[in-house]
Amino acid sequence: MTAQPFEVKPYPEMWESLDMDVPRFEKSRQMLGEVYTNMYLSQTNRPAKMQYFDDMVSEIFGGRIQEMLEVKKTGKPIVGTFCVYIPEEVVVAAGGVCVGLCGGSQGSVPDAEKILPRNICPMVKSAYGFKAGRICPYFQTVDFVYGETTCDAKKKTWEILDRLVPTHVMEIPQMKNKRDKTLWLEEVHDFKAKVEDVCGEEITTEKLAQAIRVINNKRKALQRLTALRAHNPAPISGKDALLLEQIAFYDEPVRFAEKVNELCDELEERVKNDDGVADKSAPRVMVSGTPMALPNWKVHNLIETAGAVVVNEESCIGTRYFKDLIDENKSTMDEQLSVLTDRYMQIDCSCFTPNDDRVDQVLKEYRDSNAQGILHYSLQFCHTYNIEEIKIREACEKEGIPYLSIESDYSPEDVGQLQTRIEAFLEQIRE
């Protein structure tokens, strides 16, 4: 099948007004369009409702930025985040926009390595490099960014990033005891106060209640998508599902939930008709581990090009972001912020110790997704996930689950090696 031409649309005047390095960003824009054409539009039997998400990618550096700038004109905050621990409900309650800034591209890493050490997480380097090189319109649009202390590379980078854009840091406890929740709740109160200061308006219980419903609905839509992927044959590719999960951090949340539910309506019909994107005999793989920030599609592309289908992502881009909801039946601000904090404490990032809950969650999601093997993906120098991989591997060995662990970065240099290892892993599943 020959893919139709696809373009990430240019907005040079707007980018110029944001003080971007427009000539350099123009090259990135063109490259993204080419990669998207080859990886996504070349797929066969894609759901028709994926058109909205294709359009979203086409406008991701243009139309969506314009929408955010319109919000900014009203005095509402645009807050950039790097982690699913930052409570986006608070930003939405203020009428603002919460947008993910994690970097998933090799193109910005050299900018970061002029300042930061080379031997740190590529996600941290990519994110910092986007701002240092002035090649990310989202970074150029935000009023401030909110970092967090989930790893050493991040928390020290925020000190350097603050020289380029106002950067505030949320302390994330490393354990989940009662006193840790007390600390975290205080951080949430501080975050609320910061957002109120930026927008010059108090966040009321009514506004927060509505925001909680909005973000709950977004997460419910993604939960619905995940449940549909458990069917065999899979009604949607893993690459397309990953794309939706990535777009969840950029799109307007009410609209996004509506479009995901429309897609799920189509997928339900596919399930009824046994209409899948791959044959029933295709190996079903669950990917676990570190997040895959846009446009990091390397692993999913290798798996599905080899004839398998990815049916779940246990990561911050995947289920770790949307598996838990917030109680909507609280009427006071203290109660709302308390249950909000409770919900965020259920996220089982590898920064926590002990973290046996994550091992249990990986096994649960493996069973729920009807997967046939687990690929654990770690970014280079991500020490917490690389070490926690030992427990995941041991659990899989105990359960007799086919398992592969890979460590990679954003460069294409290891694609050949990874392809060989992934193909051997899939043969293990087929046996």
Kindly report the CATH number assigned to the domain that includes residue 158.
Answer: 3.40.50.11890
| Cα 297 versus chain centre, distance | 12
User: Is residue 3 included in any domain, yes or no?
Assistant: no
Q: What residues pair up with 288 in beta bridges, in sequence order? A: 314, 376
Quick one: 159 and 251 in the same domain?
no
Helices (H), 133-284: 137-141, 152-161, 178-199, 205-229, 238-247, 253-272
Residue 313 lies in a domain: yes
- Asked if 234 and 110 sit in the same domain, the reply is no
The helix or strand, by DSSP H or E, that contains position 167, with its residue range, turns out to be: strand 167-170
Q: Considering 166, 195, 224, which residue would you say is the last residue of a domain?
A: 195
Distance (Å, rounded) from C-alpha 413 to C-alpha 109? 14
Domain membership flag for residue 210? no
Question: In this structure, is residue 107 part of a structural domain?
Answer: yes
In a domain, 2, yes or no: no
Does 308 lie in the same domain as 265? yes
Beta strands 309-314 and 144-148, pairing class: unpaired
Burial class (CB in 10 A: 0-12, 13-18, 19+), 388: buried
- Is residue 70 classed exposed, middle or buried when 0-12, 13-18 and 19+ CB atoms within 10 A define those classes? exposed
Instruction: Kindly state the helix (H) or strand (E) to which residue 289 belongs, with its residue range.
Output: strand 284-289
Q: Peptide bond before 354: cis, by omega within 30 degrees of 0?
A: yes
Burial of 374 (0-12, 13-18, 19+ CB in 10 A): buried
> Do 191 and 227 have their domain in common?
no
Query: Residue 332: inside a domain, yes or no?
Result: no
pTM above 0.85, yes or no: yes
The residue type of 10 is P
Instruction: Give the number of C-alpha atoms closer than 13 A to the C-alpha of residue 27, restricted to the C-beta side.
Output: 6
Q: Pinpoint the alpha helices (H) of 323-375.
A: 333-345, 356-368
C-alpha pair distances (Å), 304 with each of 240, 310, 403, 423? 11, 7, 17, 10
Q: What is the pLDDT along the chain (431 residues), one digit of tens a residue?
A: 444 579 999 999 999 999 999 999 999 999 999 999 999 999 999 999 999 999 999 999 999 999 999 999 999 999 999 999 999 999 999 999 999 999 999 999 999 999 999 999 999 999 999 999 999 999 999 999 999 999 999 999 999 999 999 999 999 999 999 999 999 999 999 999 999 999 888 999 999 999 999 999 999 999 999 999 999 999 999 999 999 999 999 999 999 999 999 999 999 999 999 999 999 999 999 999 999 999 999 999 999 999 999 999 999 999 999 999 999 999 999 999 999 999 999 999 999 999 999 999 999 999 999 999 999 999 999 999 999 999 999 999 999 999 999 999 999 999 999 999 999 999 999 98
CA distance 76 to 98: 11
Spatial separation of the C-alpha atoms in residues 193 and 198, rounded to whole Å? 9
Residue 5: its pLDDT value, please?
A: 74
**C-alpha span between 100 and 51 (Å, rounded):** 22
Angle at 410 between CA 404 and CA 412, to 5 degrees: 85
Domain-embedded: residue 339: no
Domain that holds residue 312: 215-324+349-430
Domains in the chain, number: 2
Peptide bond preceding 253: is omega within 30 degrees of 0, i.e. cis? no
Which tokens hold the place of 366?
A: 């493996």
At 1 the pLDDT is: 42
Tell whether 312 and 404 lie within a shared domain: yes
Residue 343 falls within a domain, yes or no? no
Shared domain for 133 and 273, answered yes or no, is no
Task: Show the tokens assigned to 95.
Answer: 């009428």
Q: What pLDDT, on a 0 to 100 scale, did the predictor assign at position 431? A: 84
Are both 247 and 187 inside the same structural domain?
no
Cis peptide bond prior to 283, omega within 30° of 0: no
Q: Look up the CATH number of the domain holding residue 373.
A: 3.40.50.11900
Among 195, 223, 239, the domain-final residue is 195
Same domain for 232 and 165: no
Instruction: Give every strand in the sheet of 78-81, ordered side by side.
Output: 97-100, 78-81, 144-148, 167-170
Q: Both 226 and 187 in a single domain?
A: no
Distance CA 52, CA 60 (A): 12
97 in Cβ contact with 141 (< 8 Å): no
Residues 186, 226 share a domain? no
> Are 256 and 405 in the same domain?
yes
Using the 8-state DSSP alphabet, how is residue 160 labeled? H
Q: Which of 141, 167, 195 is the last residue of a domain?
A: 195
Distances from the Cα of 194 to the Cα of 68, 189, 315, 337, angstroms: 19, 9, 28, 15
356 with 422, same domain: the answer is yes
The amino acid at residue 352 is F
Amino acid at 161: L
Residue in the structure block whose two tokens are 């960014």: 145
